[in-house]
Chain A
Amino acid sequence: MAAVRTSSEITFNRIAIVIVLLVTIIFLAPIYWIASTAFKPRALATTIPPTVIFQPEISPFVKLFTKRSQMRNPPTPEEYAAAPWWERVVFDGGEKIVRDGKGEVQWSGYPSRFLNSLIVAITSTVLAVGMGTFTAYGFSRFKVKGEADLLFFILSTRMLPPVVVAIPMFLMYRAVGLNDSHLGLIILYTAFNLSFSVWLMKGFIDEIPKEYEEAALVDGYTRMDAFFKIVLPEAATGIAATAVFCFITAWNEYAFALIMTNRRAQTAPPFIPSQVGSGLPDWTVIAAGTFLFLLPVAIFTFLLRNHLLRGMSFGAIRK
């Protein structure tokens, strides 16, 4: 690195910073849009020009989690005074929360869809990364007959857009009763991600020197021990990176979730826009649902950031 910076280098740096800022703004704009709409009063969600300064509200989230109906008459002052704060914000919007015969609040479909998304994405990620790691280890460490062909076959499953097989898959799933089931989606997403996981993990495991395991083998451990005690900790970075990608793919998947599920196992992506069609669209509720949906991926990525950033080559191998 040059100790003294020339003026052209400084200019270049400034231009680079401006470009990076512009790109960041372009990428963050939709996220800002969703986040701000999620806290807007309904009347301000669709104004032209957009409202930038407003009093944030929590009402879109209350509406997101509850079943509501239009009110013909506004609530009586007694009713209004007796209602808890979260019911009042719904009253303010000209709606009321639907209660069953016993007076219990009726939940909307969102929490169960969100839970479905979590179940399907986490399980399929664990399966895809787990199986991918074992498969990659096998390919990386042992002589496998037809290794190149097998690896190419695994890769080839990614070579056509998955939606192409949506109709046959749907018919097959219906025939075996896997449609609208968690298991069905988990199998589907695991299969999507497995080829990716195998290839990515093979790259990471190839980087781990064989000598580590050989040292463990000589030190009195079985190959299985060596795999769990040496290879897995060493591959943590790769596993984290692979898991993030698999999780994002499964979490964001829309097309198959729309075709294969309708109620019981429906995930959040097809559910959120489905709310647009019922009555007048309440964009603040849709934005609130989308905003919450963005959080798990953000948290997951944030938790694994050290693993994602840390280089592979900090080990004590001398070549």
Chain B
Amino acid sequence: MTQIELRGVQKFFGAVQVIKDLNLKIDDNEFIVLLGQSGCGKTTTLRAIAGLETIDQGDILIDGKPVQHLKAADRDIAMVFQSFSLYPHMNVYENIAFPLRATRKSRSEIDTEVRSVAKTLQISDLLNKKPSALSGGDMQRVAIGRALVRRPKAMLMDEPIGALDAKLREEMRAEIKRLHIKQGSTSIYVTHDQIEAMSLADRIVIMHEGVLQQVGTPDEVYSHPANLFVAQFVGSPVMNVAEATVAENASAASVSVGGAATGFEFPRALLSKLNGHAGGQLTLGIRPEGVLVRREATDGFLPVETQIVEPLGSFDIVDLKVGSKMLRARTKSGFIGGAGEKVYARIDPSQAHFFDAASGKSLGVRL
């Protein structure tokens, strides 16, 4: 049972504030991913929890007890580094045994535990090798083994697979997930890769410039981004974002993008849900799969011209010119032949997001 809580954590590096009033509660056995661009404060947050970085204000609680004044060694937390940090002068066995040697465990107890961890991670045959003789994936397994062997209260991982090549990264991602399901320890994982975050996390914590942007399950974060930053950071290909004007016509609402003369048709309910924001500066967000494309004229679809087609194998991404703006749509592969074709598009209202253009905050409109 391990809960970790951050209360009003602030951290400065000189005059630069890298963590701004961070509040977060992590439940037992939860797999939390801190996601953000480099320099957003996610690694600093992780290091603060580990005790490798001091904080300037606030509390870090592990199982309800404040630990911000404890040394790293006394927090009973394990960490896997991006560089793996295997001690080069020790073999794999000694590397894994190293955390146990800091405790008062007997030689035979240590041996049993090292061998059992090695078995779980399928590295039993590597125990006598030096780290320099290992492949990247094996190094990472050893690093995870060294973190697991002490049965710590929590596992912290700082981009643990960021240094591996793409194929191995995918394998190790699955392995980390399997291991977490099997071992079930509270885990905090830092990455800048949103695919990694989506696939691993129970909940994703998105940070930007030291400020927490949104906490939620991968689905929540993807389907209901709290602001423009989250909307554009999560999801690939990136969400279309455009300034929009909402108007009312006879039977429905109309949303025009990029100064186009005619707008996309939306249900009338949009007007009431926008709740007075309709006249203000709005930003429309729509993921490429929310832009529907037809080849022939259909009711409610606007005529548009295709620009660039990017074939991505399982689907194509097509740029559509709407007014002065470009909307990217996701189509079946080969659906559009090339640039300059006349097609018809509409926006799926149930996938549309509306943001306040000034603050970037989501208006919470769900149709």
Residues of A at the B interface (CB closer than 8 Å) are 209, 211-212, 214-222, 225, 230, 233-234, 236, 314-319
Contact = CB atoms under 8 A, between A and B. Distances in A.
Interface of B: 50-52, 71-73, 76-79, 81-89, 98-99, 102-103, 130-132, 134, 136, 139, 146, 150, 156, 163
Contact of B84 (A222, A225, A317): A317
B71 A230 contact: no
17 contacts: A215-B81, A217-B51, A217-B72, A217-B73, A218-B73, A219-B102, A220-B99, A221-B102, A222-B73, A314-B88, A315-B131, A316-B87, A316-B132, A317-B83, A318-B82, A318-B83, A318-B163
Contact of B139 (A230, A236, A316): A316
Residue from the set B50, B79, B84, B88 with the largest chain A CB neighbour count within 10 Å: B88
Nearest to A212: B85
Nearest to B131: A316
B87 A230 contact: yes
A25 to B, nearest CB: 39
Nearest to B80: A215
Given A317-B84, A318-B83, A220 B73 contact: yes
Contacts of B88: 234, 314-317
A189 to B, nearest CB: 30
Residue from the set B73, B102, B136 with the largest chain A CB neighbour count within 10 Å: B73
Contacts of A236: 89
Given A219-B99, A220-B73, A220-B103, A233 B89 contact: yes
Contact of A218 (B50, B86, B131): B50
Contact of B98 (A211, A219, A317, A318): A219
A215 B79 contact: yes
A316 B89 CA distance: 9
Contact of B132 (A209, A233, A314): A314
Contacts of A212: 85, 87
A216 B98 contact: yes
A215 to B, nearest CB: 4
B51 to A, nearest CB: 7
A318 B71 contact: no
B135 to A, nearest CB: 11
Contacts of B72: 214, 217-218
Please provide the 10 A-B residue pairs with the shortest distance between their CB atoms, ordered closest to farther.
A316-B131, A315-B88, A220-B102, A219-B99, A211-B85, A316-B86, A318-B163, A215-B85, A217-B72, A233-B89
A236 B88 CA distance: 12
Nearest to A222: B73
Contact of A214 (B52, B76, B78, B150): B52
B71 A222 contact: yes
Nearest to B163: A318
Contact of B146 (A219, A230, A318): A219
A154 B71 CA distance: 32
A316 to B, nearest CB: 3
B87 A218 contact: no
A316 B163 CA distance: 12
Residue from the set B89, B130, B134 with the largest chain A CB neighbour count within 10 Å: B89
A270 to B, nearest CB: 42
Nearest to B99: A219
Nearest to A217: B72
B150 A219 contact: yes
Contacts of A221: 73, 102
A107 to B, nearest CB: 45
Contacts of A216: 87, 98
B84 A218 contact: no
B131 to A, nearest CB: 3
Nearest to B86: A316
A216 B134 CA distance: 20
Contacts of A234: 87-89
A218 B67 CA distance: 14
Contacts of B73: 217-222
B103 A317 contact: no
Contacts of B83: 209, 211, 317-319
A32 B238 CA distance: 76
A302 B78 CA distance: 42
A315 B102 contact: no
Contacts of B156: 218
A220 B150 contact: yes
A211 B150 contact: no
A220 to B, nearest CB: 4
B136 to A, nearest CB: 7
A317 B85 contact: yes
B132 A218 contact: no
A9 B71 CA distance: 60
A225 to B, nearest CB: 7
Contacts of A225: 102
B223 to A, nearest CB: 36
Contacts of A318: 82-84, 136, 139, 163
A222 B73 CA distance: 7
Contacts of A314: 88, 132
B155 to A, nearest CB: 11
B138 to A, nearest CB: 10
Contact of B71 (A214, A217, A316): A217
Contacts of B85: 209, 211-212, 214-215, 316-317
A301 to B, nearest CB: 22
